[in-house]
Amino acid sequence: MQQRMNATLAKSRFAVIGKNARHVLPFLSQAGAVSVSFYENYDSFDSRDGFDAIFASDNNILMACVNSKAYEVKAVGFISTEQINQKIKELIPSTPIFSSNINSVRSVSEYVIASIFLSLRNFSNTQINDELNYEIKGKTLGIIGYGKVGVQVSVLAESLGMNVIFYDSDTKLNIGNSKQISKISELLSASDVVLISTSPAEHAVLTENELHMLKQGCSLINIAGQKAIELAPLFNLLQARFINCLVMDLDADDSAEEVTKVKGMLSSLSNVCLTRGEQCRTSEALHMISRDVVGNVLDFLDKNQALATGSTLAGEELSFIPV
């Protein structure tokens, strides 16, 4: 197996595109890859050079590669904490795209916990006034979307003394002392801090109607993208201090126009903290993603080469599933 892998690496050419994709370079070097080209951005990349695999750092670069026919490679590695654009998958259905954004769960969870502290302690206010801050212990955290991130946040929040309730469209097994709520209205009215932790939303999770169901003085944390909340009524409730604080991480793949629209509406408010793609962009997350994706890509190329040359060992497992 190791001899086959060495032979595959000696013959394969790899393109690494985007600054964050550079995290794969030491793993390719450790594996023994001989021909590796690194491009800080797509503009310097030429798909005509011919590569067996490419590693791209975001959806914009990957889409540019698809449009330039650079997808005519054997495998693609996606070195990002973001979800792969579904349109890209549809455009290159026969090319395996390997990603591993599950490794960003811890980073996202820590972002949320930091946001809870930020919202309750009012760190954005540099003026001394009569308003009191709040301790995290004893407060109720309501999580909308009890997936991998929701579960991890639930565990961390409970360890800090919070009560956790959650709403999900599916029946979920609760972790620790967390409790599933059957109606979103009940969660909104009972929570001191509300977290929107659904998959990137295409439609509003909280419309004007749901926003008015929030407990007065609550904090709102949104890691599901700006489309998850109706912006106009959100602005009004923040301005009136019905919602005490908003922390929202904009999708790194949002267009400049979308980001400008959100910032233009919300950034003037002192009780709003906006970030862009920061919830999961940590060195540790990218390190683990790079390690796993490089391993999967090399394993795929090796097995693909074995099938092409007929050198498969008897009884060896050749199936693989992109992460």
What was the pLDDT predicted at 49? 73
- 239 three-state secondary structure: helix
Would you state the pLDDT for residue 320? 36
How far from the centroid of its chain's Cα atoms is residue 274's Cα?
Answer: 16
What integer pLDDT is reported at residue 281 of this predicted model? 83
Rounded Cα distance between 181 and 85, Å, is: 31
What is the structure's pLDDT at 188? Answer: 98
- Walking along the chain (323 residues) 10 residues at a time, the average pLDDT comes out as 59 91 93 91 82 92 84 88 86 91 90 94 61 90 96 97 96 94 97 92 88 96 92 95 94 78 90 90 91 94 65 35 36
The confidence score (pLDDT) of residue 257 equals 82
pLDDT for the residue numbered 6:
66
Give residues with Cβ within 8 angstroms of 283, minimum separation 6. none
Measured CA to CA in angstroms, residue 281 lies from 36, 90, 119, 197 at distances of 24, 26, 21, 17
